[in-house]
Structure 1
Amino acid sequence: MAVGCALPLRGSSRGLGCVVFRQQKWKSSVSTKAKMPPCNFVPEKYKSHSYERMQKIREQNISPSLRTFYKKPLLLHQGHMQWLFDYEGRRYLDLFAGIVTVGVGHCHPKVTMATQKQLARLWHTSSIYMHPSIQEYAEKLTSLFPDPLKVVYLTNSGSEANDLAMFMARLYTRNFDIISFRGAYHGGSPYTLGLTSVGLYKHGVANGFGCLTGVNGAVQYPRGFLKEAYQLVRERQGVCISDEVQTGFGRTGSHFWGFQTHGVVPDIVTLAKGIGNGFPMAAVVTTKEIASSLAQNLHINTFGGNPLACTVGAAVLDAIEEDGLQKNSEDVGTYMLLELAKLRDKFKIVGDVRGKGLMIGVEMVTDKDHRHPLPAEEVGQILEDCKDMGVLIGRGGLYSQTFRFKPPMCITKKDVDFAVEVFDTALQRHMERAAAKQT
């Protein structure tokens, strides 16, 4: 059987104000002294529809499956590096990076400039012709991989890349079965849903890799696990697929790719998210032998590898190197991990703090003895409090009990100090609410 392994490591500060509690207005006595770090960027004035009009359009014209965070969803207007600005000009420290996508920073000047130049030159031709961008980018990207991973197929999204990786593996091995991990997320397309085992994404119909799972809350592998797993897969004539959609491009700090931290070389690697800093692009990198299995018949992607996408991808790689973002991920990520670990010792509801580089999960529990997941509505209120104080955090895990700290890689230690103090305050407010509920 073919077995796949992926590498899962997949405004101004504002007070909380009043919330309704037991039919009475309740105001927290816990205030924050956290001071948002300065930012010399001034956003443009918002000129589009009112918030209410935007909300109405969303209800009428956008699929209800596209859910939003927060009781009152944010209406964001502009971004600059690690900062986001809403329609009223409030500034937020972005610790979720567009779901672990904005690696080098929102509207990074170098990436923006390269994109603008290419926009004026050539947008699209498709791969039936050659253009400079695709060859230049393919050479630059594959130079970052060990042999024999030197062939790239460019696509548009992580789900599409994982679809193609599975298809390649099945063509090459002529076997069908694929193994993924409990708690893994590898995409929402009909094909990749078969690999995804987070209940929130399952729809109750039949659907037909490994790293620390990003959506499951940065759960790391035990030491030596991947080496043995790869060996078992290959002994059975399988191929190993590493899903680097969230872990790639220096985010883990010590290495450029997550699989390198485990001393293994996969047969196929899938990339997305940080590859384009928010531009819709993705890739599958593999060996020449495996890639050749796809060439038996015609297989074309209309938009994959178009001039604009390749220009963006190349500029992102340049920004990571020139700004020292892999090293920053290691240094600032380690600092953030240690600072958050202090809260694990301070609060009984912080069950675990784990991760690597700027990919950190903080698991919330009812208490450390039983380790039951903190109820989703309580996790949601902590998320709301952090947002109201100017910090945006993600959430994940099998029960949505894990906070995901995965910011743009340009974040600073001063930003971390501010974020941790805000998170600390939000946890204190939660404990105060819980105590009030018991009285």
Structure 2
Amino acid sequence: MSVETELTGAELPEVRTEVPGPRSRALAERLRASESPAASGIAAGDSPVFWDQTRGAVIVDVDGNRYVDLTAGFTVAVAGHSNPRIASAIAAQAGKMLHAQGVANPNELRVRLNERLGQLAPGDLSVVHLVSTGGEAIELALLTARMATGRQNVIAFQGGFHGKVGSALASTSVNYYREPFAGVLPYVYHAPFPDPYRSPFPHAQGDVSEICADYLERLLSFPDSGVTSVAAVILEPIQGHGGWVIPPVGFLRRVREICSRYGVLMVVDEIITGFGRTGAWFASLHEDVAPDILVCGKGMASGYPIAAVVTTPRIASAWKANMRSSTFLGNPVGCAASLACIEEIEEKGLVERSKVEGAYFLSKLAALQERHPLVGDVRGKGMMVGLELVKDRQTKEPAVAETAELVSALLRRGIMATNSGGAYGNVVKLSPPLVITRE
């Protein structure tokens, strides 16, 4: 039985029980018994807070505790949780037509969404292929690169995360996910990513961005690099799972130049960074970079599962008719949700708001860093802000236990900052809904 609370989305935190509360713990036990351990962290002993209602930047759990959400449901709710415009669009479309057979009988909303995404995407990216999830979109993007080039291999980056299926998993560098399937994954080379705080070349002289870009170029240019038949280079403009790692300005542009020089397609994974998250429609636009293939998802509908691959007409033409169609392609409800989300972002000025409020948020956390030696680094772009905690600022030893305790302490006070992690588990990754207010 849910706890009924009328939400406006502007409420302050209110914690009535221990966290997680008794109903959350009971539901966790039921879920542990009924769900595959692969689907959540419950099998590892986690006891999560079960959500019951959401609105704006506010979450109410099944025990009636109210939280301010600083994660946007892992970067998804860019226009706010349960945004009224999006919810109304979903309800109206579901009442009119819930499903249109993706292959044989398209719907008008699918056309409109394709056109809008083509207008928003950088460069001459104008051909869209809609799918349901980010992992599916990454798989499609890399297959597209292989079709267009006639080559098979991929270069990705250490610290990168692109999904847990097929080529997406192969491109992900997280060993925990990769190891059981290492022998059957498509081959992907992983190059070092320029982390300004934790350089992959800590003893090297010079700009880490240039060093990493030179490394990438050597993989493609050196005759005996061991890297052959490369179809694509895939990267996140800001690494998500890796800990909100922001490469130095100029790195994306250098990767673009290298890909163009060697005839390799540049695939940019904007699943996390798209739709205003970083203060631009897509993070690639901060450097005026147009990839060959752009992948988006998560914030695309602020909560409804839909994703897309956007590319050029020339690259898309490598496909033959109906080779990658699917039953739920261009689902009308998902298209309605995404179109409403785009309208909301535009009308409420959420891209600019992300830029302005994100800078304010970052300045407040930088002031916190000055007072607390545990905070080794504060970094961010728009409403994508991270705190990296260390035991010692000189050695940068990751403060893993302290990070977990901070996240837990915030949760007990009604602040949901539960998207912590990074390669060492010591980064608090903040990504509030773009509608959140300073109050």
Interval of TM-score (by shorter of Structure 1 and Structure 2): 0.7 to 0.9
Letter in 2 for 1:249: F
Aligned pairs for 1:267-286 within 5 A: 267-286=292-311
The partner residue of 1:358 within 375, 383, 408 is 383
Which structure 2 residue ranges, 5 or more long, are not aligned?
4-8, 15-21, 187-233
Question: Matched residues in 1 for 2:33 and 2:293: separation?
Answer: 41
- The aligned counterpart of 1:217 is 243
Q: Which amino acid aligns with 2:11?
A: C
Q: How many residue pairs align between the two structures?
A: 371
Distance 1:323 1:84 in 2: 21
Whether the 8 Å contact between 2:25 and 2:47 is mirrored in structure 1 is no
Any conservation in 2 of the 1:240–1:266 contact (CA below 8 Å)? yes
- Give yes or no for contact 2:122–2:289 (8 Å, CA) kept in 1: no
For residue 240 of structure 1, give the secondary structure of its aligned residue in structure 2.
Answer: strand
Partner of 1:368: 393
CA 1:200/1:360 → structure 2, altered by over 3 Å: closer, same or farther?
farther
Counterpart residue number, 1:342: 367
C-alpha distance in structure 1 between counterparts of 2:177 and 2:166, whole Å: 11
**Helix, strand or coil: the match of 1:153?**
strand
Bigger drift between 68-77 and 394-403 goes to 68-77
CA distance in 2, matches of 1:287, 1:182: 27
Question: Are 1:233 and 2:259 counterparts?
Answer: yes
Say which of 173, 177, 189 aligns to 2:153: 177
Task: Please name the residue that 1:30 is paired with.
Answer: none
Q: How far apart are residue 39 of structure 1 and its match? A: 2.1
Specify the code of the residue in structure 2 equivalent to 1:374.
A
Q: Residues 139-166 of structure 1, C-alpha deviation per residue, up to 9 Å, x if partnerless?
A: 1221112341001000011110000000
CA distance in 2, matches of 1:58, 1:115: 28
The alpha carbon displacement at 1:50 in A equals 4.4
- 8 Å CA contact 1:212–1:221 kept in 2: the answer is yes
- 1:362 alignment partner, SS class: strand
Query: 1:86 aligns to what?
Result: 61
- Kept in 2: contact 1:70–1:384 (CA 8 A): no
1:166 aligns with 2:142: yes
Is the Cα contact below 8 Å between 1:244 and 1:272 reproduced in 2? yes
- Listed one character per residue, the Cα deviations across residues 228-262 of structure 1 (whole Å, up to 9, x for unaligned) are 21111222111101110011111111x21110111
| TM-score, L = length of structure 1 | 0.81
Between the aligned partners of 2:12 and 2:87, the Cα distance in structure 1 is: 18
Q: Aligned to 2:41, which of 67, 76, 83?
A: 67
1:281·1:304 contact (CA, 8 Å) conserved in 2?
no
Corresponding residue of 1:145: 121
Q: Does 1:39 align with 2:11?
A: yes
Alignment match of 1:382 (pick from 387, 406, 420): 406
The equivalent of 1:194 in structure 2 is 170
Aligned equivalents of 1:338, 1:148: Cα separation in 2: 36
Q: Percent identity?
A: 33
CA contact (8 A) 1:213 1:219 kept: yes
Give per-residue Cα distances to partners, 1:305-330, cap 9 Å, x unaligned. 11111101100001101111111111
Select the residue among 312, 335, 339 that pairs with 1:314. 339
Shift in alpha-carbon separation, 1:399–1:290, aligned structure 2, 3 A: same
Separation of aligned partners in 1, 2:290 and 2:87? 33
Residue 368 of structure 1: how far off its partner (Å)? 0.4
Q: Which amino acid aligns with 1:341?
A: A
Q: Secondary structure at the match of 1:261?
A: helix
Amino acid at match of 2:153: D
**Amino acid in the other structure paired with 2:399:** L
Do the aligned partners of 1:251 and 1:359 also contact (CA within 8 Å) in 2? Answer: yes
Deviation (angstroms), 1:72: 3.9
Q: How many Å apart are 1:294 and its aligned residue?
A: 1.8
Q: Structure 1: give runs of 5+ residues left out of the alignment.
A: 1-10, 12-36, 43-48, 415-439
Look up the SS of the partner of 2:310 in the other structure. Answer: strand
- Partner in structure 1 of residue 224 of structure 2: none
In the alignment, residue 121 of structure 1 is paired with which amino acid? K
Q: How far apart are 1:94 and its partner, in Å?
A: 0.6
Q: Which one scores higher on RCO, CA 8 angstroms, separation ≥ 6?
A: 1
1:149 partner SS: coil
1:102 positional shift: 1.0
- Indicate the larger mover: 122-131 or 159-168: 122-131
Distance in 2 between the 1:340 and 1:91 partners?
23
